[in-house]
Amino acid sequence: MISVQQAITQIRAAISSLPDVTIPIEAAPGRVLAEPISAGQDLPSLDNSGMDGIAVVAADTSSASPEQPVILPLVGSIPAGTNPEKPLKPGQAIQIMTGAPVPPGADAVIPVEQTNLDYSQPVTDQEVHIFAAAKPGDNIREKGGYYSKGDMLIPVGQVIRPQDVGLFATVGKAQVKVIRQPRVGLLSTGDELTPPGQPLEPGKIWDSNAYMLAALLEKSGAQVHRTGIIPDEREKIIEALDALAALPVDLLLTSGGVSMGAYDLVRQVMESEGTLDLWKVNMRPGKPLSFGTYRRIPFIGLPGNPVSAFVGYQIFVQEALRKMQGLPPAEVESIQATLTTPVSSDGRESYIPGKLTKQDGNWVVHPNQNPSSGNLYALIPGNSLIIVPVGVKFLNTNERVNVRLLD
């Protein structure tokens, strides 16, 4: 049996990165940037005003105070979006709006609050009283002050956030190169499974994994292709895998059929029709995690127990998807917390559903009292997985544990 870390390393090593595609920037959030974003021009592109106010020659205002205002004639008004070419002469002032280019000759902007103007109206032919002195550069956003033409702004590999989308637009890009969305073929196997919405015969259960895994995949940014429920029959499993492989997909993900049971046919199919490169990881739940290839497509077989499938997804499938998108191993947010009740394990690296909260400024974690791998409900009240390290069989109340936060 190999360790969780070895399994992650092995899975990452076997998976290659996907090609890139060009998409509209509106579709980019959550995707991985595949081209560096650099500045095509200086920003600001021209000196412009940081305030609604008046543009002046700073030296003209040096004696201004509330008691002794400097009085200057206003020679016009500059809205944002215009390009004033006429120079401002010493002894003149001109109304200017936030973002409007500063006219040649002017070297400072006085905020409207430091004048006697009513700014609800454009003003012209009138004088302005200035109550405070300005220094050269005051309230002017300098050309190239944010960044210069050619500057590197966002590196390749950035997981695109709303502010990145805003910056694409700021530099004039309507489209951007990203890593193609991973396409994942998903199937759940088991003679006992019934789709939710249909009546349940005795001995059957509703298929939860297909829905949970599809939701997880979509949350990870993958495109999901599903088959219906596949019975524990060798030919049916092959048929379903072949249909998904033909789409094609970048990853095949199955639930169930990878344990030691007589009906665990997914593993047998992998052994005969594909490659089974990894089976059995020293973890709990989820030991029979399987990894290999089917028709040359990477394949991950998750155990059918829902908590095992969930944990296996968090730890392995997410890493496979990250590698496909050229991302480094996840820096999982792991928090040290105090146990509120004891937990036990069998010496495998264990992941126990828990609820992490803050009490008097300290992190505490409440382990779920029924953490059976079959009990998906154990994941509902909580927000995290308590990690019991390899070799540890018991941790008492008040002991410190590492907790992996689920989002």
* Site residues (vs ligand AMP, CB under 6 A): 188, 190, 192-193, 205, 207-210, 255-259, 261, 264, 303-306, 374
Under rule CB under 5 A, residue 306 binds Mg ion: no
Q: Rank residues 146 and 211 by Cβ distance to ligand AMP and give the closer one.
A: 211
Contact 100, 81 (CB under 8 A): yes
Give Rg (Cα) of the chain: 32
326, 250, 333, 398: CA torsion to nearest 10? -150
- Cβ-proximal residue to ligand AMP, closest one: 304
Residue type, 332: V
Please select the residue that binds Mg ion; options are 256, 301, 306, 382, rule is CB under 5 A.
256
How far is 124 from 76, CA to CA, in rounded Å? 5
Distance CA 352, CA 345 (A): 9
Question: Which of Mg ion, ligand AMP, none is residue 305 near (CB under 5 to 8 Å by kind)?
Answer: ligand AMP
Cβ-based nearer residue to Mg ion, 17 or 268: 268
What is residue 161's three-state secondary structure? coil
Cα 224 from Cα 185, distance rounded (Å): 6
Q: Which is nearer to ligand AMP, 82 or 370 (CB)?
A: 370
Question: Could you tell me which of 345, 350, 182 has the C-alpha nearest to residue 250?
Answer: 182
Interatomic CA distance for residues 283 and 356, integer angstroms: 21
The first and second tokens of residue 361, run together, are 């400024």
Specify whether the CB–CB gap between 244 and 252 falls below 8 A.
yes
To ligand AMP, the closest distance from the beta carbon of 203 in angstroms equals 10
Closest separation in Å from C-beta 352 to ligand AMP: 18
Q: Which does 181 bind (CB under 5 to 8 A by kind): ligand AMP, Mg ion, none?
A: none
Cβ 171 to ligand AMP shortest distance, Å: 46
Decide which of Mg ion, ligand AMP, none touches 166; Cβ closer than 5 to 8 Å per partner kind.
none
Minimum distance between the CB of residue 317 and ligand AMP, rounded to whole angstroms? 15
Residue 22-61 contact track with Mg ion, rule CB under 5 A, x = bound: ----------------------------------------
53 or 306, CB closer to ligand AMP? Answer: 306
Three-state SS at 234: helix
Of residues 304 and 367, the one with the C-beta less far from ligand AMP: 304
In sequence order, the 6+-apart residues with CB closer than 8 A to the CB of 40 are 149, 171, 172
Work out whether the CA dihedral 268, 252, 375, 316 comes out positive or negative: positive
CB of 230 to Mg ion, least distance (A): 10
Beta carbon of residue 316, minimum distance to ligand AMP (angstroms, whole number): 15
The listed partner (Mg ion, ligand AMP, none) that binds 193, CB under 5 to 8 Å by sort, is ligand AMP
CA distances from 114 to 208, 369, 407 (A): 66, 66, 49
Distance CA 39, CA 152 (A): 7
Q: Which stretch binds Mg ion (CB under 5 A): 13-21, 118-126, 216-224, 249-257?
A: 249-257
Pure H helices in 75-115: none
Torsion of CA 254, 255, 260, 263, to 10 degrees: -90
**Binding window for Mg ion (CB under 5 A); candidates: 67-75, 241-249, 303-311, 316-324:** 303-311
For the segment 165-194, give every residue that binds Mg ion (CB under 5 A). Answer: 190
Closest approach of ligand AMP to the CB of residue 324, in Å: 24
Q: Which of ligand AMP, Mg ion, none does 259 bind, CB closer than 5 to 8 A by kind?
A: ligand AMP
Residue numbers of the site for Mg ion (CB under 5 A)? 190, 256-257, 304
